Amino acid sequence: MSLARTRRRRPDTNYWPGFVDAMATLLLVVTFLLSVFMVVQFIVTQVASGKDTALRRLNQQIAQLTELLALETSTKRNLEDNLASLGVTIETKAAENRRLQGLIGAQGDKARESAGRSSALASKLDEQEALGTRALARVELLNQQLAALRRQLSALEEALEASESRDKESQTQIADLGRRLNLALARKVQELARYRSDFFGRLRAILGDREDVRIEGDRFVFQAEVLFPTGSDVMNPEGSAQIAKIARAIIQLGSKIPKEINWVLRVDGHTDVRPIASPEFPSNWELSSARAISVVRQLIAQGVPPNRLVAAGFGEFQPIDPGNTEEAYRHNRRIELKLTEK
């Protein structure tokens, strides 16, 4: 009885706090990684957009200077018109003064009146001349400002041309790099195609002219019955012997392919459209994938490097014969080998 009470009082182990701590730590790590990614993305975006921002700023400054230049030109034109009008007024007043002086000589009684009027006109003429002098000084100042604006505009145009030149040079370099990259890729593709042709030739020589083994495009195709019993991924003895021959050909070819070509042999499993539903293979996906993996394992057992092999299962979704006959089903049940790049 005492033992039973002791068991009832023993507290249960509580794993919840440890679980919460683990989840919180994981959340903090994910948050930190997201923050670092966002900061790097922001920096890259700012660097990429800095050039466009500088060009837009230069274009805005040029537009502002152009407007200011137009305004100053209009002001100068107005001042020149005023100066011309003042010159006409001065000529008119001078003619009037000469006419008055003639009247002074002809009419003695009106001499004093004419002299006063002449003095007033002379004074007014002096004022007009002073106004003309100030106008000329203002025009000269405007000319100097206009020259300074033109120098600034020229400097901005040079800066813009230099920026455009750098941009064109960058675009040229990018295009050149792209062209060189395309050429390098094309050379690698051509080299791999040459080795693929050599590989298929060796396989054909090894396997002979069998109807159930054929070349289709860039793939070497085995009918599934050559390697596996119906509905199974366990390779039969004949299939194991054929794969051993293929492994030797792969090993010999791999020693000749340059190291800079990152090649792999892809093994693809395919089934026909009729579904399979067994405890071992619930669908055609599982059966096609299991057969491809079985071939890869057999190749590895024969000495082919695992990093040069890829297994893929396509189920019934990549048929080569759309028919619903036994012949079409047999064509679609297949194992394909493809020499390609990673």
Each residue's pLDDT tens digit, 95-117:
877 787 777 666 666 656 656 67
- Do 73 and 143 touch, CB atoms closer than 8 A? no
pLDDT above 90 for 147 = no
Of residues 242 and 8, more confidence is placed in 242
Residue 67 to residue 50: CA distance in whole angstroms: 26
Q: Both 176 and 228 in a single domain? A: no
Domain count, the chain: 2
Q: Both 52 and 170 in a single domain? A: yes
Report the pLDDT averaged over residues 18-44. Answer: 81
Q: Both 133 and 215 in a single domain? A: no
Domain boundary among 180, 198, 233: 180
The domain in which residue 221 lies consists of 209-341
pLDDT of residue 190: 55
pLDDT of residue 2: 47
Q: Both 148 and 243 in a single domain? A: no
Report the pLDDT averaged over residues 154-170. Answer: 78
Residue 287 to residue 240: CA distance in whole angstroms: 18
Q: Both 155 and 276 in a single domain? A: no
- List helix spans (H) across the chain: 2-9, 16-106, 111-207, 224-227, 237-254, 284-301, 326-332
pLDDT of residue 262: 84
Q: Both 88 and 152 in a single domain? A: yes
* Residues near 321 by beta carbon (within 8 Å), at least 6 away in sequence: 327, 328, 331, 332
CATH number at residue 94: 1.10.287
- DSSP-assigned beta bridge partners for residue 263: 341
pLDDT of residue 209: 59
Closest CA to 314 of 259, 269, 267, 252: 269
Q: Both 169 and 218 in a single domain? A: no
pLDDT of residue 179: 63
Q: Both 121 and 234 in a single domain? A: no
Domain boundary among 134, 164, 180: 180
Q: Which of 24-33, 89-98, 108-117, 183-192 has the highest mean pLDDT?
A: 24-33
- The reply to whether 239 falls in a domain is yes
pLDDT of residue 110: 63
Q: Both 61 and 146 in a single domain? A: yes
Q: Both 55 and 97 in a single domain? A: yes
- The reply to whether 133 falls in a domain is yes
Q: What is the pTM of this model?
A: 0.45
pLDDT of residue 3: 45
Amino acid identity for residue 179 in this structure: R
pLDDT of residue 240: 93
Least confident of 1-10, 193-202, 220-229, 288-297: 1-10
Q: Both 246 and 283 in a single domain? A: yes
Sequential DSSP letters for 95-157: HHHHHHHHHHHH-STTHHHHHHHHHHHHHHHHHHHHHHHHHHHHHHHHHHHHHHHHHHHHHHH
CATH number at residue 267: 3.30.1330.60
Q: Both 152 and 266 in a single domain? A: no
pLDDT above 70 for 199 = no
